[in-house]
Amino acid sequence: MTTNSCTSPAAIKKDLSKLAKELAYTDEEIAAGIEYADRTKRRSHPPGEWDKAGRFYAHEHTYSVLCCRSPSRAWPHSQMLTARTAAHCAEVYKADNTTHVRRIGTAYNKLLDGCENDGVVRLLTKGVRKRKADLKCQS
């Protein structure tokens, strides 16, 4: 599969999803990885609200958000930073493996930056035998 000819983010997402499916990543991991990549690069933002003192409170109450430092005047963005992590995105999308979410997010960002396809395939291929064996056991 080649993704070097893709220029639009939608086409890159489609090709990355197809490649990740071939390498035994789950739909949840793919969706969480793309969301993680968008949040880390500030292409999307976690849902939440700001108070008058400039503190951000996340609307997605996952374990990651609930266990982080409460927003204060000194640390107003603690929940926002936590809501941009791979662990939080994995929890929101109910993905089992945070490492897989992080790999897909990294691959998506590399493809958007114009990196070569071989490096992305190499990144996503790590652990493919174990994932395929796990899928066979679940079936």
How does residue 130 score in pLDDT terms, banded at 50, 70 and 90?
A: confident
Phi-psi region of 79 (alpha: psi -120 to 50; beta: other; left: phi over 0): alpha
How much is the pTM? 0.87
Report which secondary-structure segment, H or E, holds 51: none
Q: What is the DSSP string of 85-132?
A: SHHHHHHHTT-S-HHHHHHHHHHHHHHHTT--HHHHHHHHHTTHHHHH
pLDDT value, residue 135: 66
Per-residue pLDDT tens over the stretch 2-14: 444 557 889 999 9
Percent of the chain with pLDDT over 90: 72
d(CA 26, CA 37): 17
Closest CA to 57 of 78, 73, 37: 78
Per-residue pLDDT tens over the stretch 69-120: 999 999 999 999 999 999 999 999 999 999 999 999 999 999 999 888 888 8
